[in-house]
Structure 1
């Protein structure tokens, strides 16, 4: 049997220099939680991220606190500067003190390389030519710069092989700063990494969720609070939490049979019992919403909206953990009217097939179809479970009327509450005249003579909107209805009351159309009428 060729010292060194994971393990030192200087051995999440970065130019990270990705970025920047001459690398932080702290850590890593410069020579480890407040320049022409994100465009006038935007969610003018950074990135080979904890609903939130859904050039990477890297990072806190738990539970640790429903979900996802004891310990001094923001288990938790939120965010997030996925296209295709088939799982999402003879109730909100607001439909059965949702922003009113008619009749001639404001009235007229749809909600109004009469549809005013949303909130939070549509729940995360007015949080791309449709469906259920016989 042939012997395996032994690598020479030079070959081994070259192998290490060519692989950042090996380079970090052998040549970079970091300070651990005990204040000891140790070799930088990438944790599993950093290794996973590193492998993704090798294949993707654009990366975006959402994480809990103290994830170690800023340290990773510094080490990676130093490796690239040493390994590839004339590299130009930019690290951006959101405030001066954090920028200085990052750069001091980088300079410490570089100073620790002096021993290897002596051992292997400056051809392998280029000497330091300049080391000042925010710039590290090496003899091979590579430069690493640390700056603070401000009003000036990031990277203007330069080209960079690597840009790392640290704590991006806290920048001012995020969209403008990112556009500037992308323009400064070297074509074809440059890499741009956005790394941050979340900071509510803003441009970063929309960018990350778009990447998370696969609708962006950015590759999303999320680190939950129970990731393996935190076993060591929070070991002291975990020990403290376990002692607290034992002291309050007759010396027993938390057991699987003792888990609360929300803890069972986390346990099934990978949170071990020590993490869950620590979670209970943290919740002694913070609300569940605060915990979600600081230590999320999924991206939606990290973006939780607090303060002026209309809906209880803990209940919204809990529901998100249990939602049913829409039925696959092949299960519903042959059962649907032809007009609906093009929209299956592309605007029309069916969570449960209608049962014969069961009354159903729906809400309808109409938009122009010009690409702005969405035309939406939400249908519930008589037990309050959501059967389907429809949302699309590029269907004209006349097409939407055909879709509403088809959905309504397919769902056992559902009793529909249609907002009659603006484009809702033409929709109602088409349903009655063109499609003879009879099962529509009627509202009581008074004419100028004081006589009471009925009109088709629901008229939304500040007063009636408050009633509608209040009823919907109660039905949802008391568990009288079950929402399966993730987009509806996402809109409920940003739905606020400001100065007595309830609406979605302002910002491009934010909508509340699905909330309106679901709330209208609750009004249909509240009236509990049916003008057609479905027996």
Structure 2
């Protein structure tokens, strides 16, 4: 068998960024020793799957900024006359990134192989004699990348930028218009902001960006946090007569995490970390799922630990193949706004809530239907359904679920919806409330729920109680996501405003709770 020449080996290495980094670049490990840059499992997944526009949500210190430094160095050394940009949110972080880059370059085996030489190096520029350049910039100082096009742009810790929308727009405009250029947003989360909106749109596949999420129990942490893990295990043993954590010791959250892949050692470390940080702080720094990373704290209306516990256990909706018997107008929405978790049972009564929007692309029109035990069987949300079409959807779904009893808000667009249901579709199983005529003193029955400051407090309080004491079971992930950002501020409740956040599903579920509480059946 013919032996592979050195030239052929070098070609194989130079064509593969993971091999190039492992063979030529050294980084410092936790002990301060210089070791080959061997791409870990999560970094490998990203390199193999990345596209032109990439956004990463992750737990802390998993190594993605280091990976981007290595990739920029690889591309700059193997491609002539190309530009690369590293953006950070403050000078200290920018300097740290650039120093790591220089250490990587210095670690290259210059005595054995030929690499581009440094032509100019200062605190924010790395120019090579092959014409390639790596620059560092700080978000907010100026329009980043103006006058230059870049093959690779890293927006590091993007969630902490003060001007996220402007920076992202500038980065996209500065990206080279070819098939191989890439922009990478990598960050831990920082509450609800433009980053959260961009990531969630990507996560829902409603964006040109491809989302990546890497939880705290990723295999990369086994090596990265080795010393912490061992210390946590020693702590646990000291507190438990020398015993390690075993599956029988796990609580509800831990059982779910263990089932998803978290090792017992990682769960001991989680308990150890929670000794000096709140669960909300842990969720933000070391999330186990993409929704958890955006956890709010302080004035959240719903118990966030219960919301996250439910998020980790929600089932998938029924596939379209099991729903072909639905009415024709509903088929287009199956798993594209309409999510059915359970089909109607013979003899069961169902209770629904609906919140109506204009259908112009802003707020969504939403429906929640529960069975008599409080288990969610259906969720619907869509922001481009006009009122007349939404009335037909409620009629069809309500009749499918045994003429479900509906509580529908009568405010704004709700009133014409109720009138259409009653007059055009003869749908009469609707909530009524009593109103006194202030002139005659007589009482009148009006269809629909009239939302005021007082009645909204009742809505929210009843929903909170039913959820937190286990009287209802939520299956819709989007409803739970909206519950994460549903807050109380200045005596008023609603979503944590801006960035496209909504609370429409929270309201429709709250109306469904009122339907069960009323326990009325007009038809």
Structure 2 length normalisation: TM-score? 0.97
Q: Any conservation in 1 of the 2:435–2:443 contact (CA below 8 Å)?
A: yes
For residues 74 and 371 of structure 1, the distance between their equivalents in structure 2, rounded to whole angstroms, comes to 40
Q: CA separation of 1:151/1:307 partners in 2, compared to 1, >3 Å: closer, same or farther?
A: farther
For residues 117 and 234 of structure 1, the distance between their equivalents in structure 2, rounded to whole angstroms, comes to 32
Give 1:369 shift. Answer: 1.5
Aligned to 1:31: 28
Query: Is residue 403 from structure 1 mapped to residue 404 from structure 2 by the alignment?
Result: no
Query: Is residue 106 from structure 1 mapped to residue 96 from structure 2 by the alignment?
Result: no
Give 1:156 shift. Answer: 1.2
For residues 343 and 41 of structure 1, the distance between their equivalents in structure 2, rounded to whole angstroms, comes to 46
Report which stretch shifted further, 323-332 or 89-98.
323-332
Structure 2 alignment gaps of length 5 or more: none
Q: CA separation of 1:246/1:433 partners in 2, compared to 1, >3 Å: closer, same or farther?
A: same
Give 1:151 shift. Answer: 4.9
Query: Is residue 119 from structure 1 mapped to residue 112 from structure 2 by the alignment?
Result: yes
Query: Is residue 296 from structure 1 mapped to residue 300 from structure 2 by the alignment?
Result: no
Deviations 1:373-413 (A, max 9, x none): 11111111110001111112222212211221121122111
Query: Is residue 45 from structure 1 mapped to residue 42 from structure 2 by the alignment?
Result: yes
Q: Any conservation in 2 of the 1:151–1:172 contact (CA below 8 Å)?
A: no
Which of 315, 335, 340 is matched with 1:324 structurally?
315
Deviations 1:217-252 (A, max 9, x none): 222221111111100111111111111111111111
Q: Where do residues 328-477 of structure 1 align in structure 2 (5 Å cutoff)? A: 328-334=319-325, 336-449=326-439, 450-477=441-468
For residues 8 and 241 of structure 1, the distance between their equivalents in structure 2, rounded to whole angstroms, comes to 49
Give 1:152 shift. Answer: 2.1
Aligned to 1:150: 140
Q: Any conservation in 1 of the 2:139–2:163 contact (CA below 8 Å)?
A: no
Report which stretch shifted further, 88-97 or 35-44.
35-44
For residues 136 and 388 of structure 1, the distance between their equivalents in structure 2, rounded to whole angstroms, comes to 56
Report which stretch shifted further, 290-299 or 14-23.
14-23
CA RMSD of aligned residues (A): 1.4
Which of 134, 141, 162 is matched with 2:124 structurally?
134
Give 1:82 shift. Answer: 1.1
Give 1:9 shift. Answer: 2.2
Q: Any conservation in 2 of the 1:130–1:137 contact (CA below 8 Å)?
A: yes
Q: Secondary structure at the match of 2:324?
A: helix
Deviations 1:438-482 (A, max 9, x none): 211111222214433321111001111111011101111111001
For residues 380 and 7 of structure 2, the distance between their equivalents in structure 1, rounded to whole angstroms, comes to 63
For residues 464 and 279 of structure 2, the distance between their equivalents in structure 1, rounded to whole angstroms, comes to 19
Aligned to 1:81: 76
Report which stretch shifted further, 23-32 or 481-490.
23-32
Q: Any conservation in 1 of the 2:284–2:292 contact (CA below 8 Å)?
A: yes
Report which stretch shifted further, 80-89 or 202-211.
202-211
Which of 188, 191, 195 is matched with 1:197 structurally?
188
Report which stretch shifted further, 150-159 or 340-349.
340-349
Q: Any conservation in 1 of the 2:193–2:499 contact (CA below 8 Å)?
A: no
For residues 462 and 193 of structure 1, the distance between their equivalents in structure 2, rounded to whole angstroms, comes to 44
For residues 241 and 107 of structure 1, the distance between their equivalents in structure 2, rounded to whole angstroms, comes to 35
Aligned to 1:66: 61
For residues 426 and 16 of structure 1, the distance between their equivalents in structure 2, rounded to whole angstroms, comes to 67
Q: Secondary structure at the match of 2:385?
A: coil
Aligned to 1:529: 520
Report which stretch shifted further, 90-99 or 176-185.
176-185
Report which stretch shifted further, 269-278 or 440-449.
440-449
Matched length: 521
Aligned to 1:182: 172
Give 1:346 shift. Answer: 2.2
For residues 317 and 108 of structure 1, the distance between their equivalents in structure 2, rounded to whole angstroms, comes to 41
Structure 1 alignment gaps of length 5 or more: none
Aligned to 2:510: 519
Query: Is residue 262 from structure 1 mapped to residue 259 from structure 2 by the alignment?
Result: no
Give 1:258 shift. Answer: 1.9
For residues 116 and 336 of structure 2, the distance between their equivalents in structure 1, rounded to whole angstroms, comes to 55
For residues 206 and 91 of structure 1, the distance between their equivalents in structure 2, rounded to whole angstroms, comes to 22
For residues 44 and 65 of structure 2, the distance between their equivalents in structure 1, rounded to whole angstroms, comes to 14
Give 1:71 shift. Answer: 1.0
